[in-house]
Amino acid sequence: MAVTDQGGGRLVLEPPQTPPDFLGTLAACEALSNWNDEEVLITLRRQHWQAVEPELLARGAAQVLDDDWLAVFPELLWQLPDLWLPQGRHSFPQIMVPGPQGQHPLRPAKPSGTLYHRNIPWLDQVFSIRTLDAGMDLGLFNRWMNDERVAAFFEESGTLDYHRDYLARMAADPHMMPVLGCLDGRPFCYFELYWARENRIGAHFEAGAWDRGWHVLVGDEHTRGADYITAWLPSLMHFMFLAEPRTQALVGEPAASHTQQLRNLTRSGFAKVKEFDFAHKRAVLVRLERDYFFKSRLWARPNPADPGRPLSLSLSAQLTTGVAQ
């Protein structure tokens, strides 16, 4: 597929030589919107995209501009699960049940395997999220938790038996889900995802029924720094919003003294709501709204080669990655 830049942030995506398919079209548009230019608008000549126009419109991937043109708005495109959730997305019925902070929805069974993948063009690697396997990953988890730097803020160092029990408690708790972040299949960080209503944070604010939160540790010292944070942090947020369309906000409770983490979070779109006290720390409640994440295109990163324009040089490679996974 070729791209024509019409100026003013408007790009024209030309069709391939063979009839375009839905996933290939989405992948092309993903590649063009991986870089941060809030004004970019991807347009398609309707006469060339008739084969996929009905599905693009029905799924919300495109909107009609006029008789000749369709427009793909990235803030809509990136809410579709097709490219990023290999297991798809299933609607789980809502029924409220009692909980520690009042009623909350009955939670669906926790999935297993690879949950999310996304090509990261500035790393030339695929970031993925998979569930932690307590049998296979126990040694790695134990090593990371006993790392001096990690233990200083996570405070869960211990023996293999201690961490085996820790993960067993996680597995038995329907509001918690331990997962690993990977680059090209190699784990480098650990996330604990939780539903806010049932979590200790839910006692400190009025959490929405599907609000979600997270804890993180980066275990691989070689994957720290801005290039990696701008890959895994917005991708994790993207996953949590994609996995449950009823999730309207994501929250966190970093230590008030952890200035670097707070700086990273505010740069990534989180708002500081308030400071409050847990038994073990002074914390800051941070919050990211779904609407703001997608409208501000917070998954994207400025293009270092040309900060004001989207990058399309490696489009064919990104298309191959996006469709094949």
Q: What is the pLDDT of residue 323?
A: 27
Residues 170 and 318 in one domain: no
Is 253 in the active site? yes
Domain count, the chain: 2
* Closest CA relative to residue 270, chosen from 197, 188, 213, 210: 213
Is 168 domain-assigned? yes
Is 84 domain-assigned? no
Residues 203 and 63 in one domain: no
Active-site annotation holder among 30, 38, 253, 275: 253
This model's pTM is above 0.75: yes
Q: What is the pLDDT of residue 320?
A: 33
Each residue's pLDDT tens digit, 260-306: 888 889 988 999 999 988 877 898 999 999 999 999 999 988 655 44
Residues 159 and 259 in one domain: yes
Q: What is the pLDDT of residue 10?
A: 87
Residues 135 and 269 in one domain: yes
Residues 130 and 272 in one domain: yes
Segments forming the whole domain that contains residue 319: 3-78+305-324
* Closest CA relative to residue 197, chosen from 243, 134, 248: 248
Q: Rounded mean pLDDT of 212-233?
A: 92
Give the mean pLDDT of the chain. 89
Identify the DSSP state of 157.
Answer: -
Is 175 domain-assigned? yes
Q: Is the pLDDT of residue 244 over 70?
A: yes
Residues 69 and 129 in one domain: no
Q: Is the pLDDT of residue 168 over 60?
A: yes
Residues 177 and 279 in one domain: yes
Residues 155 and 221 in one domain: yes
Is 236 domain-assigned? yes
Q: Is the pLDDT of residue 309 over 80?
A: no
The CA distance from 255 to 276, in Å, is: 10
Q: What is the pLDDT of residue 311?
A: 34
Q: What is the pLDDT of residue 154?
A: 87
Is 87 domain-assigned? no
Q: What is the pLDDT of residue 312?
A: 32
Q: What is the pLDDT of residue 302?
A: 67
Residues 169 and 229 in one domain: yes
DSSP strands (E only) in the chain = 3-5, 10-13, 41-45, 63-64, 69-72, 96-97, 104-105, 114-120, 125-131, 176-183, 186-195, 212-218, 249-252, 271-277, 282-289
Residues 174 and 38 in one domain: no
Residues 238 and 152 in one domain: yes
Is 88 domain-assigned? no
Each residue's pLDDT tens digit, 169-216: 999 999 999 999 999 999 999 999 999 999 999 988 999 999 999 999
Residues 190 and 265 in one domain: yes
